[in-house]
Amino acid sequence: MLTGEADLMTRAHTTPQATTAGTAFTTALIRLTQHVEQVFGEVGRERGLTPQQAHVLCHLVDGPIGMADLSRRLHLEKSSVTGLVDRVERRGLVARVRDDRDRRAYRVALTDEGSRLACETHEAVNQRLERLAADLAPAERDGLVATILRALPPPP
Amino acid sequence: MLTGEADLMTRAHTTPQATTAGTAFTTALIRLTQHVEQVFGEVGRERGLTPQQAHVLCHLVDGPIGMADLSRRLHLEKSSVTGLVDRVERRGLVARVRDDRDRRAYRVALTDEGSRLACETHEAVNQRLERLAADLAPAERDGLVATILRALPPPP
DNA sequence: TATTGTTATACTCTATAACTATA
DNA sequence: TATAGTTATAGAGTATAACAATA
């Protein structure tokens, strides 16, 4: 059975609600998401990192972050972050540094080696994702960004 | 150090390459991706499914799929799909059915219970993702979809 | 030979619950 | 009391390598 775009558009006129096939919008979103994850996967694997480790390193590029903050940004439980950080620390890419102001807290910071790898990873991810915008005029691009940010719930 | 859009645009004139902060475009993309994954996670958890299981069920809504095809669509190794299907099969949500034309192949099909859960999950994911387009005019929405599909590499 | 799918193995990832220590 | 973080545990997810059966 063929279910191309024409079919989707035709049905959109008869039954406005999505039934089982989903809308073109959600389908596009989900495919986009898969692509982004695949980019993290490939870029990571080329450097001996899991996709999740690549994510963590990219978050640390802007400076050290506490575990709780990392947990919020990655939408993971604290204990999951503990394990994630354990593994990249074991590989010498990050270090836990005590927070001066709050003696309960650590700040996760990139080591020299981690910093190199993180920047490289961050660069590569950005380059590959930038390709998606290659055909867009600057105005279209800005509009797209604005649209996405407006639609997304505010960061925690 | 402030790195808002103005700064990004300024720097774009002096150094066209992103350095460590990434572009507004990639940042938006990555946040969008996180949100989509979170939706699959929440919708799944409310129904006792992992995010990956929710993905699988959603892919099966349109009809039975072979393991190799599932592997390509999910961008996973064959053996990973075997495990994934094992677990949803153990829960009675899908069944492996022998392919008539190719005696090596199985087709993974939803059971009655699996079908109910899959439709429900699919609906819920779509509803939540549709909210992102709530503010968009139909033309904007169509343009966005077209932009995404044009930018994405063709499905395998 | 190539493809479909599985098994065995070794990790990584993740959440839940219970805990310590500091605020 | 609330927050920052860890440990213990159990299960899920994933890739690699080697394999069987069919095309």
Average pLDDT (A76-81) is 98
Rg, chain A, Cα only: 20
Question: What per-residue confidence (pLDDT) applies to A86?
Answer: 98
User: Percent of chain A having pLDDT more than 90?
Assistant: 81
Question: What per-residue confidence (pLDDT) applies to B21?
Answer: 61
Question: What per-residue confidence (pLDDT) applies to A14?
Answer: 34
**Whole-prediction pTM:** 0.87
Cα of A142 vs its chain's centroid, Å = 19
Q: Which residue has the tokens 């995404």?
A: B148
pLDDT band with cut points at 50, 70 and 90 for residue A15:
very low
Of B24, B58, B140, the CB nearest to A145: B24
pLDDT band with cut points at 50, 70 and 90 for residue A156:
confident
* CB atoms B25 and A141 under 8 Å: yes
CA–CA dist A132, B25 (Å, integer):
10
Question: Residue B125: closest CA among chain A residues belongs to which residue?
Answer: A26
Question: What per-residue confidence (pLDDT) applies to B8?
Answer: 34
Asked if A5 and B110 touch (Cβ cutoff 8 Å), the reply is no
Give the mutation candidate from A5, A30, A72, A121 for the B interface (greatest B CB count, under 10 A).
A30
Residue A37 has pLDDT above 90, yes or no: yes
Contact residues on chain A for B144, CB-CB shorter than 8 A:
25, 28, 144, 147
Contacts of A144 (CB under 8 A, 6+ apart): A133, A136, B25, B28, B144, B147
CA–CA dist A4, A55 (Å, integer):
34
Phi then psi for residue A95, to 5 deg, are -135, 145
Average pLDDT across each block of 10 residues of chain B; the chain has 156 residues. List them in order.
Answer: 37 39 89 97 97 98 98 98 98 98 98 98 97 92 92 88
Strand C nucleotides in reach of protein CB atoms, 7 A cut-off: 3-9, 12-18, 21-23
Residue A33 has pLDDT above 80, yes or no: yes
Question: What per-residue confidence (pLDDT) applies to A21?
Answer: 60
Question: What per-residue confidence (pLDDT) applies to B129?
Answer: 97
Our measurement of CA B53 to C1' D9, in angstroms, reads: 22
Element (H, E) at A107: strand A106-110
Residue A142 has pLDDT above 80, yes or no: yes
Question: What per-residue confidence (pLDDT) applies to A155?
Answer: 84
**Tokens, residue A8:** 């989707």
| AA letter at A16 | P
Contact residues on chain B for A144, CB-CB shorter than 8 A:
25, 28, 144, 147
The DSSP output letter for A54 is H
Question: What per-residue confidence (pLDDT) applies to B156?
Answer: 75
Q: How far is B133 from chain A (nearest CA, A)?
A: 7
> What is chain B written as a DSSP string?
----HHHHHHHHHH--S--SS--HHHHHHHHHHHHHHHHHHHHHHTTT--HHHHHHHHHHTTS-EEHHHHHHHHT--HHHHHHHHHHHHHTTSEEEEE-SS-TT-EEEEE-HHHHHHHHHHHHHHHHHHHGGGTTS-HHHHHHHHHHHHHHSPPP-
Phi then psi for residue A110, to 5 deg, are -70, 140
pLDDT band with cut points at 50, 70 and 90 for residue A118:
very high
CB < 7 A from strand C, the residues are A 50-53, 75-80, 83-84, 87, 101-104; B 41, 45, 66-69, 78-79, 81-83, 85-86, 96, 99, 102, 104-107
